[in-house]
Amino acid sequence: MSRSAKPTDRQDSPRTYPRNNWVRGAGEVAINETGGAFARAGFTDPGLVLRWADIAGPAVARVARPLKWQDGESGATLTLKCESGAAVLLQHQTRELVQRLNAYLGANRVARLKLVPGRLESPAEPPNHPSPLPPAESDPPTLPDALDRLARLRARVKTLKTSRF
């Protein structure tokens, strides 16, 4: 067995490909590594989960998320975890949501939706930018003040250049 084709020490998600020291895109590696979690929930294609906000719309995506996929004889049952108060409202939008899902996945793929009320974890807020903008001054400088400041800075740079030689 070659060095690059050794199985990994992690038994929970073994690699399905030998590395061969090839560079792979981060998205490709992430999908390969998370494929087991999607498969355990019944999602053979993670596109439904990853594009949920585009498929269902921002209003529905804010209060419901796909939880489980179960294939059946007459079509699949998609289980959605939704906020407790939104379950009643989503029940009224079931037909429209099934139509949107079937438009994305293919005709008659989803037969019914199952709504499970519960608390959704909100996505973590992104961290602050590494170089935040300095606090804004109370009054922005006027044009003459800015030109004076520029002239002083240029004079200082000019004196530094001449004093070095």
Instruction: Report the pLDDT value the prediction gives residue 17, as an integer from 0 to 100.
Output: 61
Is pLDDT above 70 for 140? yes
What is the three-class DSSP state of 75?
A: coil
Is there a domain that residue 71 lies in? yes
What pairs with residue 112 in β-bridges? 77
**Per-state percent for the chain, helix, strand, coil, to nearest 5:** 45, 15, 40
Domain hosting residue 109, numbered range: 45-122
The yes-or-no verdict on residue 7 having pLDDT over 80 is no
Is residue 37 situated within a structural domain?
no
Judge whether 114 lies within some domain. Answer: yes
Confirm whether 92 is domain-assigned.
yes
Q: List pLDDT tens digits, range 81-136.
A: 998 888 888 888 899 999 998 898 888 888 889 999 888 887 666 666 665 556 66
The mean pLDDT of the chain is 77
- Work out how many domains the chain is built from and give that number: 1
Residue 53 lies in a domain: yes
Q: What is the pTM of this model?
A: 0.53
pLDDT over 50 (residue 1): no
Q: How far is CA 85 from the centre of its chain?
A: 25
Evaluate whether residue 143 is within a structural domain. Answer: no
- Does some domain include residue 55? yes
DSSP of 104-156, one letter per residue? HH-TT-EEEEEEEE-PPPPPPPPPPPSSPPPPPPSSPPPHHHHHHHHHHHHHH
**Other beta carbons within 10 Å of 124:** 6
**What pLDDT is attached to residue 151?**
92
The pair of structure tokens assigned to 152 is 């002083």
Contact, 65 vs 81, CB < 8 A? yes
Query: Which CATH number does the domain housing residue 76 bear?
Result: 3.30.300
Domain annotation covers residue 106: yes
Residue 160 CA, chain-centre distance (Å), reads 50
